[in-house]
A and B are shown apart, each in its own frame.
Chain A
Amino acid sequence: MNREVKKVFVLTTAMLSFISFWKAGSVVLCDFASSAYYAGGIAAKAYGSAFPYFILGVMLLSGFLLMAYIESSSLFVRGGVYVMVKNAMGKTMAKISVAMLLFDYLLTAPISAISAGLYLGYLLEVVLPHFNIHIHFPPQTIAVIFSILVILYFLRKNIKGVKESSEDNVKIIVFVGFVAVLLISFSLYTIYKNGFKLPEFRFSFTDESLGVLKYFDFIKPVGLIAILIAFGHSILALSGLETLAQVYREIEDPKIINLKKTVIFIFVFAFIFTGLLTFFSSVIIPYDKIINEYSENLLSGLAMSFAIDYKLRIILKTLVVVSAVLILVGAVNTAIVGANGILNRICEDKVLPDSLRKLHPLYGTTYRIIYVVAILQIIIVILSGGNIFLLGEAYAFGVLWSLTFNLLSLIVLRFKKNEEREWKFPFNIKVYDYEIPLGLIILFLFVFTLSFINLFTKMIATVSGIGFTIVLYFAFSYFEKKQNTIEDIHKIDENIDEEKINISTENEVLSVVKNFTKPQKILVAVKNPNNLIHLDAVLKEVDDNLVDVVVLYIKVEKGYEYAVNFERLLPEEKELFKNVISISEKYGKTVHPIMIFSNDPVYSILSLAVSGSFNRIVMGVSANIGSEVQLENIAIKWGLVRPKDFNSTIEVNIIWERRKLIYQLV
């Protein structure tokens, strides 16, 4: 009886690599912190010298919103606005919210790229004369050309499937942080040298910034109204928070603790970088100069206003521009990736035709979706003509309304899904048997008020945003009806993508096993996608640094017919691997899924355990034969598999609901 395991299929997917909170925070900051380069200037032009206080205020608000994202992430590992709203308020509202979010993503790339282009343009204006080049290139023209090139570059990169690397994000944030330290240091030096005066808390709303409110004499932009209007014009500094929901699944164990660290990191960085630097800009640069010269490149203006030698100012300005280009260009890619992800998810949900998700024949990416997104972004760039204020006007709609829906969903889910959460937004009051999420309600009311006021003060945003949402909603409804939507086959609280899973083959088990180098190895046998309690139990307790967890699926085949790609696996097998990945993401711990063909699963499990020097085998209980008979089979097969010179112990665990059987193979 010599049945060696010959062929092993190793499933690999990028989803099974997890990142530290530094990297996760850097990924988010590459989107969120990029608004530091344009939010202040846009706000200053919209409502006057009080802008730095409101940018600081928005950064403080971001802290509360980040806390809300912690709670929503604890509910859904693969969360985000669509999942949250769908579970709280149903598919119709989810479609509306995702249309708004798409609007946000479609504008993020143009505004980021245009901003980077403007920084570059203004730098060239100063630097080129030093090289005796006296051709004047209007910065807005440079911005448009630059933006189109950047979007085309990332279009190509995403078609080819080159994934954004979190390592690159860390490098960008480190460099941006370095520039921030320089800017803060020289700001403090300049303030020390020249003295300072706090910016005036004064509003000077333009007709554009009042929107339709200017037609209502009884609504005066003073007091609380003015504050809310000003807040609404500053809210574009919040763009990028949704990235946290997307990146949560990649955070390593312990997930919620690391998520909290990520949030603190993001908040502190953004508060200092966006909030403080904008404030220093308002203190150091005279307000008129901000409006007339530096509204499109505020941080460059800050560098040029320091009380230092001119050449040093140029060097600093160059560093600012390099940091601007790096982080803003990164935000362009995040927007394309984000839009691609959202559209994939709603195609999966049969809200858009699945043909849109057709894979590229060579690269296996959803190239049609990427093309649609990139083309729309280029059209927006061209229509804007490099006018960042126009884009800024339109921008806040998607940001605010998707946040509003997200918060409302969180409140609804407190009642609808009132199970224990790993973390809850604070300030909850118990009234009889109910817990009222007062903190969330206050936050929601504030954000909703801003969203509501913005409908009247940001007419471009309102018209384009509502128009876009309506068009997209009807498109969704049309295609959904056309496809005779079937019931969502996924679990109601998880929406798992059919993301790319690669299968590679190894001709010997040993060549697979040699990759597992941690001190301990656990082999988890899986079969039933609805019975993974044992895998959950293992991942809950295991130390990812010390233990390799190999998840083994044995495909029982009499004829040894090998399926060579994921597409040929049965639906329940795909479901099994998706659920394995989902549990792995839940705990942020890496697993190595492998698949073997065999007509004797127990024999193969034991054989692999011996060849791979595994310390433990974990199985779920067999519904057909029960745990005792299962162990008897294992014991008998162990007699067949056990090498004569075996001088170790393998522990066998059979785990099911609240029970665990342990047996030592010696």
Chain B
Amino acid sequence: MVLNRSALISNIITPDDIIIRDDGFKNLDEIVDFFISKAYPLISGIITLNELKEKAKKQLSSTLTVFENGFFLFHLKLKKLDNFKAFIILTRKPTHYDKNNYDIHLSFMLLSPLSQNMFDTHLKILSNAAGIFKDSTHLLISLKTPLEVYSYIISKSK
């Protein structure tokens, strides 16, 4: 079955939005801060940095999706955002998540419009992300370039 095109990860991400690092982060807060530093230039017109950090902090404390295969999924809904945007961070060295004792290698951050009309697509993107990345952490961290990662995502989205 062909996935809803608007919910395809490949449509909301470009190779420039995929970051590959050797070193991990200290904790989840650092991963999120890194995401924010990448995302803020694109959305500075609709939200202040402090507001974005506040929202992220609130989201981190309320719902957290970390999988035992090393995948961390983080999402925020923003007013005035008119389209979806995503970022991926791959770290060859893991970020240790103390609570569940998981090692995170792959983080996916989604920014979604805070709109009832877009909520369905938001859910489908989350679902697609979980589906694509559920078994692929080890494969992905072996890839060399963001383009290779992007090609993998495209192949999984078909």
Contacts and interface: CB of A to CB of B under 8 A. Distances in A.
A639 B67 contact: no
A638 B127 contact: yes
B117 to A, nearest CB: 14
A314 interface: no
Contact of A639 (B63, B119, B122, B127): B127
B73 A636 contact: yes
Given A1-B68, A632-B63, A639 B1 contact: no
A631 B123 contact: yes
Interface string B63-102: 1010111000101000000000000000000000000000
Given A1-B68, A1-B135, A666-B1, A629 B62 contact: yes
Contacts of A646: 1
Which range holds the interface residue count of chain B? 20 to 34
Given A632-B126, A663-B123, A642 B131 contact: yes
A638 B63 contact: no
Nearest to B134: A640
A638 B62 contact: no
Contacts of B120: 663
A1 B75 CA distance: 21
Contacts of A625: 62-63
Interface SS of chain A: helix
A542 interface: no
A380 interface: no
B128 interface: yes
A629 B127 contact: no
A628 interface: yes
Contacts, number: 58
A625 B155 CA distance: 34
B60 interface: no
A647 B1 contact: yes
Contact of A1 (B73, B123, B128, B134): B134
B4 interface: yes
B134 A635 contact: no
Contact of B65 (A636, A642, A647): A636
Interface in A286-334: none
A637 interface: yes
B13 interface: no
A642 B69 contact: no
B1 A638 contact: no
Interface string A641-666: 01000110000000000000001011
B126 A1 contact: no
Nearest to A665: B127
Contacts of B130: 635-640
B121 to A, nearest CB: 11
Contact of A635 (B63, B124, B135): B124
Interface string B41-74: 0000000000000000000001101011100010
B2 to A, nearest CB: 10
Nearest to B67: A1
Nearest to A642: B131
Contacts of A636: 65, 73, 126-127, 129-130
Contacts of B126: 632, 635-636, 639
A648 to B, nearest CB: 9
Chain B CB within 10 Å — which of A635, A663, A666 has the most? A635
Contacts of B127: 635-636, 638-639, 642, 665
Contacts of A638: 127, 130-131
A639 B134 contact: yes
Contacts of A666: 1, 3-4, 124
Contacts of A642: 127, 131
Interface string A611-632: 0000000000000010011011
A37 B69 CA distance: 77
Nearest to A664: B120
Interface in B105-158: 119-120, 122-124, 126-132, 134-135
A639 B131 contact: yes
B109 to A, nearest CB: 14
Contacts of B68: 1
Nearest to A661: B119
Nearest to B135: A1
Interface string B1-15: 101100000000000
Interface in A93-140: none
B131 A632 contact: no
A487 B63 CA distance: 40
A640 B129 CA distance: 9
Interface string A78-99: 0000000000000000000000
A647 B2 CA distance: 10
A632 B123 contact: yes
Contacts of A628: 119
A252 B128 CA distance: 43
B64 to A, nearest CB: 11
Contacts of A629: 62-63
A642 B63 CA distance: 22
Contacts of B63: 625, 629, 632-633
Contacts of B67: 1, 640
B69 A1 contact: yes
Interface string A337-350: 00000000000000
Interface of A: 1, 625, 628-629, 631-640, 642, 646-647, 663, 665-666
Interface of B: 1, 3-4, 62-63, 65, 67-69, 73, 75, 119-120, 122-124, 126-132, 134-135
5 contacts: A635-B123, A636-B127, A639-B131, A640-B67, A642-B131
Given A639-B126, A639-B127, 20 more contacts: A629-B63, A631-B119, A632-B63, A632-B122, A632-B126, A635-B126, A635-B127, A636-B126, A636-B127, A638-B131, A639-B130, A639-B131, A639-B132, A639-B134, A640-B131, A640-B134, A666-B1, A666-B3, A666-B4, A666-B124
Q: Which 4 A-B pairs have the closest CB atoms?
A: A639-B130, A639-B131, A635-B123, A639-B127
